[in-house]
């Protein structure tokens, strides 16, 4: 009889240890799985209440370039801003003042079969900035490139920061809101 009680006790103990191990394993794999499904890093510097005109992470340095607008952007209302940096650490925001921003940017769009070129241009202290979204389908292979180029005053060579992934872009109404350049 004592042997039966001892065996029963060992079985109960083994079941308890096994159950605790399963709970610990389940918890640890749940933590790992939850990490695998964590939200991707942000790809915009626009706030939730703003419209994303253009935004993408650039290859080098590991930063984000964004052109953000107020939801009510028109030619005489709302604002447009360029931002470069990381969430919580924006290195450049242009213009700082959100009044009359539409006059500080120029929009150019050229489209024909297999070619689509979009640019948003502005100048800060003589530095020329060009947010670009290009598709050259006539090239073999086709070229699709997006990002921002900066040209220093008096320098012919530009520095480009190319998007690491396809940008989030919505150029709707920009032609009616901004002055347009010729191309």
Helix (H, G, I), strand (E, B) or coil at 140: coil
* Predicted model pTM: 0.76
The per-residue pLDDT for 20 is 41
Q: In sequence order, what are the residues at sequence separation of 6 or more whose Cβ sits closer than 8 angstroms to the Cβ of residue 61?
A: 161
For residues 160 and 154, give the distance between their C-alpha atoms in angstroms, rounded to a whole number: 17
Q: Where are the domains of the chain?
A: 1-38, 50-180
* Contact status, residue 160 vs residue 147, Cβ threshold 8 Å: yes
- Looking at residue 38, its pLDDT comes to 57
Give the pLDDT score at 180: 81
Averaged pLDDT, 3-8 = 38
Interval 55-114: pLDDT, tens: 999 998 899 999 999 999 999 999 999 999 999 999 999 999 999 999 999 999 999 999
Query: Cα Rg for the chain, rounded, in angstroms?
Result: 27
Residue 16: its pLDDT value, please? 38
Q: DSSP letter for 113, please.
A: T
């Amino acid at each position: 009889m004592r042997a039966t009680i001892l065996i029963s006790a060992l079985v109960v103990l083994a079941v308890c240890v096994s159950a605790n191990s399963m709970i610990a394993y389940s918890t640890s794999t749940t933590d790992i799985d939850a990490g695998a499904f964590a939200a991707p890093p942000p790809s915009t510097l626009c706030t939730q209440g703003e419209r994303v005109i253009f935004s993408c992470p650039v290859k080098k340095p590991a930063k984000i370039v964004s052109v953000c607008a107020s939801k009510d952007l028109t030619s005489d209302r709302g604002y447009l801003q360029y931002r470069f940096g990381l969430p919580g650490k924006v290195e450049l925001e242009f213009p700082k003042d959100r009044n009359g921003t539409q006059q500080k940017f120029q929009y150019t769009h050229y489209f024909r079969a297999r070619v689509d070129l979009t640019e948003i241009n502005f100048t800060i202290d003589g530095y020329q900035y060009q947010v670009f979204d290009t598709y050259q389908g006539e090239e073999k292979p086709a070229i699709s490139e997006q990002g921002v180029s900066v040209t220093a005053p008096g320098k012919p060579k530009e520095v480009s920061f190319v998007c690491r992934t396809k940008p989030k872009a919505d150029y709707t109404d920009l032609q009616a809101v901004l002055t347009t350049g010729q191309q």
